[in-house]
Amino acid sequence: MHVPDGFLDAPTSVATMVVAGGVVAASLVRASRRELDERTAPLAGLVAVFVFAAQMVNFPVGAGTSGHLIGAALAAVLVGPATATLCLTVVLAVQAFLFADGGVTALGTNVVLMGVVAVWVGYGVARAVLAVLPRRMSSVPLAAAASSFVSVPAAALVFTGLFAVGGVAPIPLGPLVATMLGWHLLIGVGEALITFLAVSSIVAARPDLVHAARGRMPALQLRTPEPVA
C-alpha cells in the first residue's frame, strides 16, 4: 500500500501533505487530552513497534502478489484513533526516511491513506460492531478483525480517488477501482487474521488497557480475598 514518489502529481501530493499535517496536529491534541494516560501510554509505544515489525512481513495472497498488515484498525481499537494516527505516522516516516519504503513526497499521501482513512474507518466500524455485539471482552477482537478487514479496501478506494484526481497516467477508473478493491479485499483477510490474534493477546493479558472497551465493559473491580474460615 506504500505509495512511491511519482504516482501522484505535485498538487495532489501537497494537498495530502496539508491534510496529513492538519490531522496529525489535531491528533497530538486529542491523544494528549483524551487517550494517553499513565496506564495506556506504554501500550501506545508497543503498538507502534508492533505495526513496524508486522509491516515487514509480507504474506502471499496469490498470483505473485503479497500484502502486509497496515495495523491502523488494530491500533485504533487498542490505543484510540488519535494515538493510532500518531503510531502510523511515526512508522511511515521512519519507513520513508530510513528505508526508502514509500516516497518522501508521497509521505503525506501514505499518512492520509493508512494513518487517517484506515484508522478512522477502522475505528468507526469497530465502534459500530461493538454496539451490536454482546458487551463482553470477547467481542473486542471480533470487532477489531471486522474493522481491520474493511479498513484495507477503504484505503485502497481512497487511493484510486486520489489517482483519478492527480494520477500521472491516464488509467481508466473502472479497472483501477476493480483491481485495487479485489486485491485489497484479499489482503484484508490477512489483516483481519493478524489483528484478531494480536488484539486477542492484549485482551487476554490486559483488558483494562484496551481503548475500544472503555466505558463499554464492566468496570475493573478490586477483589479482596475471602477470609479463611
Partner 1 sequence: MNADVRPDAPRPRVSTRRLVLVGAAVCLVIAGVVSSFASRHPDGLQHVAHSLGFAGAARESAAAGSPLAGYGVDGVPNGFLSGGLAGVVGLVVVAVVMGGLVLLLRRLGRRRG
Q: How far apart are CA 177 and CA 50, in angstroms?
A: 30
Which residue stretch of 10-18, 116-124, 142-150, 170-178 sits at the interface with partner 1 (rule: CB under 8 A)? 170-178
Closest Cα to residue 44, out of 87, 82, 93, 77? 87
Calculate helix-pair angle for 72-79, 139-166, nearest 10 degrees. 130
Which residue stretch of 12-20, 122-130, 143-151, 213-221 sits at the interface with partner 1 (rule: CB under 8 A)? 213-221
Among residues 67, 80, 81, 122, which is the contact residue for partner 1, using CB under 8 A?
Answer: 67
Q: Mask of contacts with partner 1, 106-135, x by CB under 8 A?
A: ------------------------------
Is residue 21 a contact point for partner 1 (CB under 8 A)?
A: no
Is residue 173 a contact point for partner 1 (CB under 8 A)?
A: no
Which DSSP symbol is given to 196?
Answer: H
For cell 476493480, the residue is 178
**Of the two residues 147 and 160, which places its CB atom closer to partner 1 in the complex?**
160
Contact predicate 163/37, CB 8 Å: no
Among residues 64, 215, 228, 229, which is the contact residue for partner 1, using CB under 8 A?
Answer: 64
Q: What residue type is assigned to position 130 of the chain?
A: L
Size of the site for partner 1 (CB under 8 A): 89
Contact predicate 77/126, CB 8 Å: yes
